[in-house]
Amino acid sequence: MICFAAMALACSIFATILALMIKSELLQVNTNVLECATKASMLKIELDTLSSAQAPPVKKRRGRPRKNVQPKVIHTLGEL
């Protein structure tokens, strides 16, 4: 019985040490992911700034669009 208790204690100590190691690795991965996301957002802002500097936005025409109407012909030369 004491042998089983010793094995259970050894397994629990091993599991605790393994959990602490995994926790520290997860914290490091989380830090790296946050750093990568920050760099990516900064690069996206830079790209947006550069693309807007190259091609300024097109101005929209305000008001109602004009109809395509042919001008009225009052008279032609040679006719009276």
Sorted by where each begins, the domain ranges of the chain are: 25-51
At 50 the pLDDT is 82
pLDDT for 34 equals 95
d(CA 40, CA 34): 10
pLDDT of residue 51: 78
CA 36 to chain centre: 12
**What is the distance between the alpha carbons of residues 38 and 27, in angstroms, rounded to a whole number?**
17
Query: pLDDT tens digits, the chain, 80 residues: what are they?
Result: 888 899 999 999 999 999 999 999 999 999 999 999 999 999 999 988 887 766 666 777 787 777 777 767 676 676 65
